[in-house]
Amino acid sequence: RRFAAEFRKLAQEIVASPEPWDADRTRYSVYESWPEALDLMPGKVRGEFVGREATAFCEFMLARFELHEKVFGMAVNHTKGRQRVELLQKVLLVLDSPKFRDPHNRMVRLKNQYQASLQEWLRLNPELATAIKLPWSKATKVFDIGQFRQLLELAAMTVIKDDAFCIAIQVVGQHRELQLLRVPLSGGDVSLLAKTELKLPVTSSLTFFATRFVTSMCIDKETLFVATDGAGIVMFPLTNGSPRRIGVDEGLPTNNIRSVAVLDGKIYAGVSEGYLIAYDLAQSRCDVIASSRRKQKLSPFDDQKPFRVPTLIADSARKRVVFVVGENLWELIPATGRFTQLLNIVEADQGRSGPKLSGDSIVWTSPLRGDRVVISDMTRSMEFDMSRDQAKVLHSPDFGVFPMTSSLLVVDGFLWSGSPFARLSLDKHEHTKLPSPDNGPENFYPHIGLEPLTKGRQILAADSRTIWRLELTLGSSAGESSDSTTTRAKTPNATAPEPQKSRSR
């Protein structure tokens, strides 16, 4: 048994670091030969250690969002009861994840195959098919994009007091526009506020990836600042008024913006090609704070390889800008121009499996909520406490598979994920895949936003077409159970809004 465990660790090391051999071919060879090698190992209590090692290696494979049918099949055949249900649920989460890179036709085939296996196993073991205990008592639809024929999809959402402000993409003739909407959460008409033409071709692929086009968003003094990948920064007044565009023509190095924050009348932005800039709104002047192209070392990031700034937060309570570059979390004090490294993210991520969370892998950053900010890549998430300059790991592959590809929210001891719609208990790291709020057959992916309301007693969840308000049942664990595609719980009190009239401004 000890030899089998050591052999598994060696196989995992080769899969994780296949160099200098061809990576894909090497990983395939290890996955292909592993079941046979394990089956041929000598031992008296074969069923015990073979099942344990097969399951452990399969968990490792799924945490990498990879799937070899022999490895998975061997693991499934050595599991029973609830363990088999959980393994089948995990593989379905992997197949649903954008990080699963196999051809679409293979993904569909495997998904249908494993869903059928799960349904058959639950049919033979009906005691395992308990209904999901939903974490909300009431679900109310507060917005549906179908009432506006010109709107293509929602791209971003934020909440200010009793209103949700959304950025939508719309196509008018041969032009594409950003449209600001105000959605009253207490009921009433949706208002179409300011809009701006992007001057980008409709045929651009960005039309079909609105959430990738709108890369970051923040609010300061009744103005919404929207960072885009190709159209610079757009300033939307939340009341009547025309949008203001800031891009190359206004002095920015490029129109491709990765992150944005505003502090004391200045816009701070992480710009592609290795720039961190500050734009003075009063003087309409752009200053380069750091540049990988600048030979003169005026910052720790000058004259080096291009860097990303995926996370950028205005910490007004401490009069500083906090951001991530590479493996480190930094602060900039604008009053003095001083840079300070606050902590090393890779060191703070104490998990054993790699690769670790860093500025090169971050795909999502939350707004500042209280003193907390959440960052994540596809498999790991971490929470920063700005008041203490400390980091805490929320989830990593060491705890199991929980895909995190978009919006996240920490509420009542759970980590909620928008794609797929699920939540994870932070104490036991048990996850529940959640159904659509209307209990419909279509999957619900609130990747546009998950926002807390009424001090965490409600959640506002938005996908690309709808926004739902969920009244939570706090302090109770949503019993982990069968996949929602097989046993769909009845959604209590799901209601749709009254027909809304648009009001243009």
Q: Which amino acid is at 49?
A: F
Give me the sign of the Cα torsion angle 273, 276, 281, 284: negative
pLDDT in tens, 22-47: 888 898 999 999 888 887 776 654 56
Characterize 65-102 residue by residue with b for buried, 16 or more Cβ atoms within 10 angstroms of its Cβ, and e for exposed: bbbbeebbebbbebbeeeebbbbbbbbbbbbbbeebee
451 beta partners: 460
Q: Is 360 exposed, middle or buried (0-12, 13-18, 19+ CB in 10 A)?
A: middle
Residues 6+ apart with CB under 8 A from 480: 86, 430, 431, 432
Please report which confidence band the pLDDT of residue 185 belongs to, taking 50, 70 and 90 as the band edges.
very high
Per the CB < 8 A criterion, the answer to whether 321 and 331 are in contact is: yes
Q: Which amino acid is at 373?
A: V
User: What does the CA dihedral 88, 90, 96, 100 come to, rounded to 10 degrees?
Assistant: -110
Residues 6+ apart with CB under 8 A from 442: 436
141 beta partners: 468
Give me the sign of the Cα torsion angle 247, 249, 250, 253: positive
Q: How far apart are CA 226 and CA 218, in angstroms?
A: 7
| pLDDT on residue 209 | 52
Among 131, 77, 69, 122, residue whose Cα is nearest residue 94: 69
Give the angle subtended at the CA of 48 by the CAs of 45 and 54, to the nearest 5°: 125
Q: Which amino acid is at 271?
A: V
| pLDDT on residue 324 | 97
Does the domain at 136-504 match CATH 2.130.10.10? Answer given as yes
Q: How far apart are CA 411 and CA 403, in angstroms?
A: 18
pLDDT in tens, 367-381: 999 999 999 988 889
Q: How far apart are CA 8 and CA 75, in angstroms?
A: 13
Per the CB < 8 A criterion, the answer to whether 320 and 264 are in contact is: no
| pLDDT on residue 44 | 53
* CA within 13 Å, CB half, 288: 21
Characterize 1-31 residue by residue with b for buried, 16 or more Cβ atoms within 10 angstroms of its Cβ, and e for exposed: eeebeebbeebbeebeebeeeeeeebbeebb
Give the lowest-confidence range in 391-395, 406-410, 427-431.
Answer: 427-431
Q: How far apart are CA 353 and CA 118, in angstroms?
A: 28
Q: How many CB atoms lie within 10 A of CB 212?
A: 13
Q: Residue 499 pLDDT > 60, yes or no? A: no
Q: How far apart are CA 289 and CA 200, in angstroms?
A: 29
Q: How far apart are CA 367 and CA 343, in angstroms?
A: 20
Q: Residue 146 pLDDT > 80, yes or no? A: yes
Please report which confidence band the pLDDT of residue 134 belongs to, taking 50, 70 and 90 as the band edges.
confident
Rounded to two decimals, what is the model's pTM?
0.75
Rg (CA), the chain: 24
> What is residue 127's three-state secondary structure?
helix
Please report which confidence band the pLDDT of residue 277 belongs to, taking 50, 70 and 90 as the band edges.
very high
Higher pLDDT, 15 or 459: 459
pLDDT in tens, 37-80: 887 776 654 566 788 888 888 888 888 888 999 999 999 888 88
Distances (CA, A) of 435 to 90, 224, 441, 485, 488: 16, 32, 9, 8, 7
> What is residue 367's three-state secondary structure?
coil
Give the lowest-confidence range in 166-170, 237-241, 288-292.
Answer: 237-241
Please report which confidence band the pLDDT of residue 184 belongs to, taking 50, 70 and 90 as the band edges.
very high
Q: How far apart are CA 460 and CA 362, in angstroms?
A: 24
Q: How far apart are CA 372 and CA 389, in angstroms?
A: 10
Q: Residue 504 pLDDT > 50, yes or no? A: no
| pLDDT on residue 12 | 86
Please report which confidence band the pLDDT of residue 501 belongs to, taking 50, 70 and 90 as the band edges.
very low
Q: Residue 82 pLDDT > 70, yes or no? A: yes
